């Protein structure tokens, strides 16, 4: 987690620390649907990606996470930033997700840390976390997600 800032609580004169979970995600769309993954031991689906390790760049994190989760290799020269989203979660943390598109080589398959891959439409929005829902909204508004 990355410390983002102190936030003053309204009228209380007390500040609290707000922690930001900084993630990257691969936006892979086919025929108006987006690829999502459900990690082992959870019922929640996510846009594939994850948290950086140490001083990794966004690109390094994305390449590592996608190889680990989906058993494919993103082609670094094709990776493009598609947007950054930030949402508050009920536990008080903030999740920031930097999204990227990019071509890959290999065959998409769930790794040992992923229980299920699924193609989601906009109607599946309630099945993903708040920060992913913001991405779904933008993709739907632009006509990329049905």
**41 in a structural domain:** yes
Residues of the chain above pLDDT 70, percent = 89
Q: What is the pLDDT of residue 142?
A: 98
**88 in a structural domain:** no
- What is the number of domains present in the chain? 1
Residue 88 above 80 pLDDT? yes
pLDDT tens, 19-39? 899 999 999 999 999 999 999
What does the buried/exposed string (b/e) look like for 53-84 if buried means 16 or more CB atoms within 10 Å of the residue's CB? eeeeebeebbbbbbeebbebebeeeebeebeb
**74 in a structural domain:** yes
**What's the domain range around 57?**
22-81+96-141
**8 in a structural domain:** no
**15 in a structural domain:** no
pLDDT tens, 76-87? 999 999 999 999
For 50-114, the three-class secondary structure string (H helix, E strand, C coil) is EECCCCCCHHHHHHHHHHHHHCCEECHHHCEEEEEEEEECCCCCEEEEEEEECCEECCCCCCCCE
Question: Band of the pLDDT at 12, cuts 50, 70, 90?
Answer: low
**4 in a structural domain:** no
**6 in a structural domain:** no
**87 in a structural domain:** no
- Supply the CATH number for residue 74's domain: 3.90.79.10
Q: What is the pTM of this model?
A: 0.88
Q: What is the pLDDT of residue 1?
A: 41
List all residues 6 or more positions away from 71 whose beta carbon is below 8 Å from its beta carbon: 106, 107, 108, 109, 110, 111
């Amino acid at each position: 987690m990355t410390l983002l800032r102190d936030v003053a609580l309204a009228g209380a004169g007390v500040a609290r620390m707000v922690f930001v979970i900084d993630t990257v995600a691969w936006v892979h769309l086919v025929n108006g649907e987006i690829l999502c993954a459900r990690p082992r031991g959870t019922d929640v689906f996510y846009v594939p990606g994850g948290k950086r390790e140490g001083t990794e760049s966004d690109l390094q994190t994305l390449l590592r996470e996608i190889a680990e989760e989906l058993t494919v290799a993103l082609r670094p020269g094709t990776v493009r930033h598609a947007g950054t989203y930030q949402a508050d979660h009920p536990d008080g943390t903030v999740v920031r997700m930097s999204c990227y598109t990019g071509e890959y080589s290999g065959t998409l398959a769930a790794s040992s840390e992923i229980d299920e891959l699924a193609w989601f439409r906009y109607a599946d929005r309630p099945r993903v976390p708040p920060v992913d829902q913001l991405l779904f909204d933008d993709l739907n508004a632009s006509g990329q997600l049905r």
